[in-house]
């Protein structure tokens, strides 16, 4: 009986992933598997709540200065990661996933342990000014797993001319795989208090309507939407999953 179950499990796993490899479990980590080098991330990590949107249930601490324009986001990942996205909000204390919007950052489909460093939002182009506050959120899956995990960094914007860049590493792991732009997460947020009616910013392909469908259907769902989905759908399912918070 046990042997039958094992064979079934192995068959299922090899069919879905095309390879059997040891996978990391969130409970193996005592710090976030993906951390911010810059801007600095929220303190703390709890494997039991890391899958809680929007910030893994960690409270906001001090805000770091961050340039209004020209900023970078530098991450370090201690294990292989799938479907990593970075989004932002101008909400002063975001409590829901849908306070956040995409700013054009590519979706990282696959990356090994090491670094990931990319351009941050052009906050001026997003209508913000020096003195405004923002929160960046990274969400991702452990390699080959379904659950999304969330981590945040809180910033206060300063003019690029008065920003002193601290020392941090900015490098990409060599095996980084970036999603095609038409497979990259796109979502527009709304201010807290408004009705949750997600729209994707580009309406011309299947992913956009999938995002809207995931978001609207999950608002009446009562269970966590940890679904098995592939490609862009994996990213968009997170929109549905995180609606519950
Ligand atoms: C982690 O979160 C769980 C669930 O909320 C809680 O019971 C536990 O005390 C937390 N652990 C720490 C170290 O805060
Ligand atoms: C953490 O989770 C608890 C229980 O759901 C919630 O009451 C609390 O507001 C959360 N804290 C943060 C910072 O998200
Ligand atoms: C890392 O990859 C991203 C996405 O392709 C790219 O925008 C960024 O410039 C790369 N970073 C470095 C340090 O090469
Ligand atoms: C994305 O673009 C590629 C190449 O142009 C195309 O083959 C693919 O069908 C497109 N995907 C979607 C979801 O539109």
Q: How much is the pLDDT for 189?
A: 58
Domain ranges for the chain: 24-179
Ligand nearest to the CA of 118: 3
Which atom, in ligand 2's list, is nearest to the CA of 95? 14
- How confident is the prediction along the chain (245 residues), in pLDDT tens digits per residue? 444 343 344 334 434 444 455 688 999 999 999 999 999 999 999 999 999 999 999 999 999 999 999 999 999 999 999 999 999 999 999 999 999 999 999 999 999 999 999 999 999 999 999 999 999 999 999 999 999 999 999 999 999 999 999 999 999 999 999 999 999 999 885 443 333 333 333 323 333 333 333 333 333 222 222 222 234 444 454 444 444 44
The response to whether residue 44 sits with its C-beta less than 6 Å from ligand 2 reads no
> How far does residue 57's CA lie from ligand 2's centre (Å)?
5
Cβ atoms of 91 and 187 closer than 8 Å? no
Burial group, residue 163, by CB count within 10 angstroms (0-12, 13-18, 19+):
middle
The per-residue pLDDT for 48 is 98
pLDDT value for 187: 82
Determine which residue's CA is closest to atom 6 belonging to ligand 4.
182
CA neighbor of 73 nearest in space, from 15, 106, 116: 116
Residue bearing the CA closest to ligand 2, atom 6: 57
Pocket test for ligand 1, best of 30, 32, 48, 245 (most atoms within 8 A of CB): 48
Q: How many residues does the chain have?
A: 245
Domain spanning 24-179, CATH architecture? Sandwich (2.60)
* 31, 46, 55, best to mutate for ligand 1 pocket (most atoms within 8 Å of CB): 46
Q: What angle do CA 141, 75, 241 make, to 5 degrees?
A: 30
Please state at what angle helix 232-242 crosses helix 206-218, rounded to 10 degrees: 20
CB 133 within 8 A of CB 66: no
Q: Which of 90, 98, 93, 107 is nearest to 182 (CA)?
A: 107
Q: Where do the H-state alpha helices sit in the chain?
A: 2-17, 206-218, 232-242
Q: What is the CA radius of gyration of the chain?
A: 18
Q: Which residues line ligand 4 (CB under 6 A)?
A: 180, 182, 205-207
Closest C-alpha residue for ligand 1 atom 2: 48
DSSP codes of every residue in 151-191: EEEEEEEE-GGG--PPP------TT-EEPPGGGS---B---
Q: What would the two tokens of residue 60 be?
A: 């906001």
Q: What are phi and psi of 12, to 5 degrees?
A: -60, -45
Query: For residue 57, which atom of ligand 2 is closest to its CA?
Result: 14
Q: Answer whether the bond into residue 161 is a cis peptide, omega within 30°.
A: no
pTM equals 0.78
Mark 25-63 as b/e (b = at least 16 C-beta within 10 Å).
ebeebeebbbbbbbbbbbeebebeebbbbbbbbbebeeb
């Amino acid at each position: 009986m046990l042997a039958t179950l094992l064979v079934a499990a192995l068959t299922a796993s090899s069919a879905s992933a095309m390879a059997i490899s040891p996978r990391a479990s969130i409970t193996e980590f005592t710090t976030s598997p993906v951390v911010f080098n810059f801007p600095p991330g929220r303190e703390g990590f709890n494997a039991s709540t890391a899958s809680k949107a929007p910030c893994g249930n960690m409270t906001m601490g001090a805000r770091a200065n961050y340039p209004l324009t020209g900023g970078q986001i530098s991450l370090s990942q201690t294990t292989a990661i799938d479907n990593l996205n970075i989004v932002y909000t101008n909400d002063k204390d975001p409590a829901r996933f849908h306070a956040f919007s995409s700013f054009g950052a590519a979706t990282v489909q696959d990356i090994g342990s090491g670094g990931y460093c990319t351009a941050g939002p052009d906050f001026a182009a997003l209508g913000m000014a020096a003195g405004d506050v923002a929160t960046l959120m990274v969400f991702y899956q452990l390699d080959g797993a379904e659950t999304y995990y969330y981590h945040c960094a809180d910033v206060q914007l300063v003019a690029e001319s008065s920003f002193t860049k601290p020392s941090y590493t900015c490098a990409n792991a060599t095996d980084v795989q970036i999603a095609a732009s038409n497979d990259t997460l796109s979502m527009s947020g709304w201010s807290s208090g408004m009705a949750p009616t997600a729209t994707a910013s580009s309406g011309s392909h299947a992913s956009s309507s999938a995002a809207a469908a995931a978001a609207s259907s999950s608002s009446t769902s009562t269970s966590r939407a940890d679904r098995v989905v592939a490609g862009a759908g994996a990213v968009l399912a997170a929109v549905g999953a995180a609606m519950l918070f």
